[in-house]
Amino acid sequence: MQIIPNIKESDNSFKKTAISFALLVKWIILGLVIGIIVGMIGTMFFHMLAFANYFRSSNSYVLLFLPIAGVIIVYLYHSSKDYHDTGTNLIIKAITENENIPLFKAPLIIISTFLTHLCGGSAGREGAALQFGGSIGYNIGKLFKLDEDDRKIMTMSGMAAAFSSLFGTPIAAAFFSIELSSVGAMHYAALVPAVTAALVAEFIARHFGVNWKVFFVKIVPKMTAELALKSVVIAIFGAFIGIMFCLTIRYTRKILDKIFKNPYIKVVGGGLIIVGLSYVFRSGYYNGVGTEVIEMAFNGESPYWAFIIKMIFTSITLGAGFKGGEIVPTLYIGATFGRLCAVILGFPDQLAASLGMIAVFCSVTNCPVTSLFIAIKLFGYDGAFYYILVVAISYAISGYDSLYGSQRIKYSKFRYK
């Protein structure tokens, strides 16, 4: 047995440890910087959208200004020479294909999403967060003259910080940012700065009065063979609903592009369609974020077919050229679909709504780890066995499509290849 270690090997080990420690310090500092900057902007964005949705619900006439808001949005993008905005797909390409992200993307998506929500467009906010967070993270990396690989890590960290500040789920936000771009593989090199940025952003948002919605499932029956089978049914159909949502957005955009060649006419036409549909379905349930309808689903009160109508509203809104995210509409669609399943299958309302939400979310994002973390954060740990079962089934059968066409499928969902 060698008691005295080899000096060269020992020196090499110390050198590697020193380098690792230096990199750790570097990424913690950069994560703090991103967390503070993006956290502040995310907090401001959250309050902007809260005001927009409050003002619209109190002054229903602003819905009539939706076509005008659309014209302003198109003008802002065109005046910035951004004629073919690809949204979150650009952020993913920056990670997978070294695509450049202009800094103006951040204010553009913030202002455009605010106008969309203010005037009654049907869109979310977290997808917008991924865009401005990724843009800011990427450009901070450029400011510090980091190389391409490090800028990718900064982009993911910015995404994590923005998602965390708007959604209040720092663990899920960190894993979402490193899981989203490459299905089947995680970019663990970004874990330290992404976690740091997400935690800091969540703290800042909470400090400045951001209150996130949680939907704790109060009644979780012990899992039986019957309930497990019903959960699998919800997962299977939830996955298909997710696929349908992705296809609806894609083909609605293609149809509108074909009908309206001019982007200004297209956004006005889409805006008028949303205004008309809003007066047909007078409830206002399908405009804006729709968090109140998710609450209704958990209370067993949402309309049975709300998920289909919301799908139509969101597809037209985004397809016409309005801006916002797809994540909250996804949760809305999943929750209201789950509420329908509760009636059909004789399942507890809250548990069915939560399973529907997580099944559809996993289906459209291909992010099973993030889906599980979001479920535990939003609904509580008591239903974890149900959540992981639904996540596994939904991920497996949802295919290789998603909301984001730039997402890469690194590994098969069924084979080790």
Mean pLDDT of 316-342: 94
pLDDT of residue 1: 40
pLDDT of residue 184: 78
The owner of tokens 């509409």 is 329
- 3-state DSSP helix/strand/coil percent for the chain, to nearest 5? 75, 0, 25
Give the DSSP H or E segment for 385. Answer: helix 384-397
- Per-residue confidence band for 228, with pLDDT thresholds at 50, 70 and 90: very high
pLDDT at 5 > cutoff 70: no
- Summarize pLDDT for 344-396 with one digit per residue, the tens: 999 999 999 999 999 999 999 999 999 999 999 999 889 999 999 999 999 99
In our burial notation (b when 16+ CB lie closer than 10 A, e otherwise), range 369-391 reads bbbbbbbbbbbbeebeebbbbbb
Q: Is 76 helix (H, G, I), strand (E, B) or coil?
A: helix
Range from 21-35, 106-120, 177-191, 267-281 carrying the lowest mean pLDDT = 177-191
Mean pLDDT across the chain: 90
Do 9-207 and 225-409 agree at the fold level? Answer: yes
- Per-residue confidence band for 11, with pLDDT thresholds at 50, 70 and 90: low
Torsions phi, psi for 300 (to 5 deg): 70, 30
Sequence-distant (6+) residues with CB within 8 A of 308 are none
| Number of alpha carbons in the 13 Å side-chain half-sphere of residue 179 | 17
Encoding tokens for residue 17?
């440890």
What residues form DSSP beta bridges with 183?
409
How far apart CA 13 and CA 58 sit, in angstroms, is 65
pLDDT at 18 > cutoff 90: no
Q: Provide the residue ranges of all domains of the chain, joining segments of one domain with +.
A: 9-207, 225-409
pLDDT of residue 74: 95
CATH class of 9-207: mainly alpha
- Per-residue confidence band for 52, with pLDDT thresholds at 50, 70 and 90: very high
170 with 201: CB under 8 angstroms? yes
Residue with the larger pLDDT of the pair 317 and 83: 317
Encoding tokens for residue 10?
């020992």
Written as one string, the DSSP assignment of 94-133 is HHHS-----TTHHHHHHHHHHHHHHTT---BSHHHHHHHH
Mean pLDDT of 309-316: 96
406 with 92: CB under 8 angstroms? yes
pLDDT at 102 > cutoff 90: no
- Per-residue confidence band for 123, with pLDDT thresholds at 50, 70 and 90: very high
Sequence-distant (6+) residues with CB within 8 A of 241 are 307, 333, 334, 337, 359, 360, 363
pLDDT at 4 > cutoff 50: no
pLDDT of residue 235: 97
Mean pLDDT of 398-415: 82
Instruction: Please indicate, yes or no, whether the overall pTM of this predicted structure exceeds 0.75.
Output: yes
pLDDT of residue 112: 95
87 with 113: CB under 8 angstroms? no
139 with 103: CB under 8 angstroms? yes
Encoding tokens for residue 231?
């959960």
- Summarize pLDDT for 237-286 with one digit per residue, the tens: 999 999 999 999 999 999 999 999 999 999 999 999 999 999 999 878 99
Please count the other Cβ atoms lying within 10 Å of the Cβ belonging to residue 312. 17
For domain 225-409, is the CATH number 1.20.5.510?
no
How far apart CA 231 and CA 106 sit, in angstroms, is 40
What residues form DSSP beta bridges with 182?
408
Please count the other Cβ atoms lying within 10 Å of the Cβ belonging to residue 195. 24
How far apart CA 100 and CA 252 sit, in angstroms, is 28
pLDDT at 168 > cutoff 60: yes
Angle between helical axes of 225-259 and 349-365 (0-180°, round to 10): 50
- Summarize pLDDT for 169-215 with one digit per residue, the tens: 999 999 999 999 888 788 899 999 999 999 999 999 999 999 888 78
pLDDT at 290 > cutoff 90: no
How far apart CA 393 and CA 355 sit, in angstroms, is 11
